[in-house]
Chain A
Amino acid sequence: MNRGQPLATSIRDSLPGPDDISRDVLPNGIVVLSRANFNSPSVVVSGYVTAGSLFDPEPKLGLAFFTALGLLRGTGQRDFQQIYNQLESVGASLSFNTGAHTAGFSGRCLRVDLPLLMGILCDVLRQPAFPENQVERLRAQLLTGLAIRAQNTADMASLTFDEMIFANHPYSLPEDGWPDTVRATTRDDLADFHRKAYGPRGMVISLVGAVDPRQAVKLVMDLFGNWSNPAQEEVPELPPLQPLKKTATRRVTIPGKAQADLVVGVSGLSRRDPDYIPASLGNSILGQFGMMGRIGDVVREKSGLAYYAYSTLNAGIGPGSWEISAGVNPANVDKAIKLIRTEITRFVERGVTDEELADSQANFIGRLPLSLESNAGVAGALLNMERFELGLDYYRRYPDFIHAVTPDAVLETARKYLQAKKLAIAIAGP
């Protein structure tokens, strides 16, 4: 049996590890991660603060997202024009996004412009002004985004699926809110949200590229070392999740569309769960490996029903999801769902072969150099190690974790999570 070739020592050593990642904790709690790459003339700065949508009150759903996007609209030091003039004039970028637990930032610049980028990041995180006129402009953009979302069959199928698998849980709520809740949110709501959710506790920042790690830490220390926010609230606890008791189907009608999107699946596991790696390998076999695994083979290659059909294992801080997505002609929805359900049943009944597992194991290990090629890839890896407490030696030990998984372990996790009789099926289309 071919278990895949061992990773060449030289490649293993080129992966981020404790000897080339620097990790420092500032007195106010900020974690600074850094890894130098002087082959590159640029630096990526990314990270997060614990200001995610779990804080959103339901009538103002989307508040965390609105606030994060509002940060760049002006500060006590710089107005909107100045922020973007400084960034764009040097070809730098900076943007924000949110998840349930955190608000994330991501920026990039040439080496010489790092102090400028960091200065702006500090300014917008610590003293955003949320100017009234900019908040209104942003609101119109957000509302347009929601109008576009309402017309997007893939977005609406996914949103409906989350409502089903995460019923009565905050993960069921869309981070970008609803038109009514975005309209109900005021400029002062953004300022209040910033006061209570933004602060150094739980903040992680990673700098990767043409910067010496000592310099990186000093830069963060100089800018953020004296940041404190006694009013910073703890992230709300997650309530327990009640999984579906039987298979349920929900349809969203979007008239005039040529194609329907569907999502079939279950709630899943957290990234920190020991089952994550076997589940992830199982997912690869089910709907990722090569041209989208078994699902792609059955739905696309053999039946010609869809241009895309694949499975995804989403895993974060809390419960995740294990879902299969496809875009099909409206006349073929039932046929595609039937094929997908048959594959799920086969997967949980018969498991995977030695050969299939060996293929996916080899893929997981072989693709590491490509996924860690760029500064952004490494920065993402550093943040994952921190967020999910994987340890700084995670990528060096990763091949061992992958090789340790057996077909039985894959079958066991599949049976535990992919309950073929308790599926959520969401369809959005004409």
Chain B
Amino acid sequence: MIRTTLPNGLLVLLKEIHTAPLISSWVWYRVGSRDEAPGLSGISHWVEHMQFKGTPRFPAEVLDKAIARVGGVWNAFTYLDWTTYFETMPADKIDLALQLEADRMVNSIFDPQEVFSERTVIISEREGSENQPLFLLGEAIQKTAFRAHPYQHEVIGNLADLQSISREDLYNHYRSYYVPNNAVLAVAGDFETAVMFEAISAAFAPIQAGEMPPRIDIEEPPPVGEQSLTVEGPGETCYIQIAYRAPTAAETDFDHLTAVDSLLAGPSNLNMFSAGLSNKTSRLYQALVEKELAVAIHGSLGTTIDPYLYTFTITVHPSRKPEEVLAAFDDEVSRLHETTASPAEIERAIKQAQALFAYGSENITNQAFWLGHAEMFASYTWFENYLARLSELTPAGLRTTAQTYLQPQNRVVGVYQPTGEGS
């Protein structure tokens, strides 16, 4: 593995893997929904869409066909803290990916006509999400959980902003953040490092460094007490989300909370491109699903730069009330506060993480994903040392972390109350 920086500031990480004739290349930009000023929510994600609309050298249809013709796949994702673009290609075709990523770092057109038609595509993407009760609930929780920090809005953006963002807004956002010194290039797969580095230098080194874009730096004040909300919508199924303010991914407490999550709700799936493990022996499954208070439970702890949310999602049993479920949930959390977990439980969490790492290693796209992703909130060593850090956790440390973070005054409880229409 090598990690180096080009003179223009582009951070490059390379990892040779020779198990399949494939290479996966990811370009990461340090820009996401957290970088959006009021009125511009959703702009980072929209810029990501526009990056598929072409440059003078690679018009949209040409790009798209060129990748597909060689059997490659490409896509992009926008999150709270970052935006990323990847291509996974037959090994001998990777140069195309490098060329196009270098090109669209600076030369995307943002044709006004394309901006016009993409506006309704993105609104349609948002409407598709609005069909899902958990999107509606999650959006309400985010808004309630953050009073000041831009983590308060969904990545997709508010409808009003999607209707008013202009071509100039989009282009400015693109030009401000898409500079090599604000980007990371991570490539993993079937190559020789020296040869790959040369190809990367040829493609990316000519790009001029830009001014380092400012990141919005707003510290979210501490929570002022437990908050509750209800979202009403169609259907017959009731959901509860319980979202605690969480530590940042780089903090030691985050590792403890990862293990807490494993005990409470089952191991987090670290693999971007394959399914995780079942969680039927986790404490909350046992307390809620086996006791017929809920039909499903899962936990989600995001890796973020600033403190975000550790969220539990519970699908309530059709014959139960959300209050009963919440009471049983709180009993389990209290148990974690009052009784130290056994070392065997932590060992089990480690073994599960080891297995998930082994499964993830089969997939080159997943390997390249982690190479860059970890740099967005820490560094690649965060990923490399993940298992080692887990093995150092202690039962007492877990208990203290649970006592610190899993407190009612640190959370928002949201209930999706179905109105029964259409049932």
Contact = CB atoms under 8 A, between A and B. Distances in A.
Interface of A: 4, 8, 10-11, 14, 39-42, 80-81, 84-85, 87-93, 95, 108-110, 136-137, 140-141, 143-144, 147-148, 150-153, 253-259, 289-291, 300-308, 327-329, 359, 362-370, 373-376
A291 B52 contact: yes
9 shortest A-B CB distances, which residue pairs?
A366-B71, A91-B355, A304-B117, A256-B234, A367-B71, A307-B125, A290-B64, A304-B120, A258-B130
B422 A253 contact: yes
Interface residues of B, number: 75
Contact of B364 (A136, A254, A373): A373
A222 to B, nearest CB: 24
Interface stretch (B17-25, B102-110, B253-261): B17-25
Contact of A153 (B60, B131, B267): B131
A141 B277 CA distance: 18
Nearest to B24: A370
B106 to A, nearest CB: 23
B340 interface: no
Most chain B CB neighbours (cut-off 10 Å) among A40, A80, A91, A93: A91
B228 interface: no
A338 to B, nearest CB: 17
B362 A91 contact: no
B423 A91 contact: no
B76 to A, nearest CB: 12
B32 to A, nearest CB: 20
A306 B233 CA distance: 23
B292 A140 contact: yes
Given A11-B90, A91-B354, A366-B90, A140 B362 contact: no
B317 A140 contact: yes
B362 A42 contact: yes
28 contacts: A42-B358, A80-B280, A81-B281, A85-B281, A88-B280, A90-B351, A93-B277, A140-B317, A140-B319, A150-B422, A258-B128, A259-B124, A289-B68, A290-B64, A290-B67, A304-B116, A305-B121, A307-B121, A307-B122, A327-B124, A327-B128, A328-B124, A329-B124, A363-B70, A366-B93, A367-B73, A373-B364, A374-B362
A137 B118 CA distance: 45
Given A144-B237, A253-B422, A366-B69, A87 B295 contact: no
B118 A304 contact: yes
Interface string B208-237: 000000000000000000000000011111
A81 B68 CA distance: 46
Contacts of B422: 150-151, 253-256
Contact of B127 (A41, A256, A302, A329): A329
Contacts of A42: 355, 358-359, 362
A257 to B, nearest CB: 5
Nearest to B60: A301
A370 B121 contact: no
B164 interface: no
Given A329-B124, A362-B70, A141 B355 contact: no
A90 B364 CA distance: 24
A255 B124 contact: no
A357 to B, nearest CB: 12
Contacts of B123: 329
Given A253-B422, A365-B71, A258 B127 contact: yes
A140 B318 contact: yes
Contacts of B266: 88
B195 to A, nearest CB: 17
B423 A147 contact: yes
Contacts of B358: 40-42, 110
Contacts of A303: 117
Given A88-B277, A370-B88, 4 more contacts: A40-B361, A255-B234, A373-B19, A374-B363
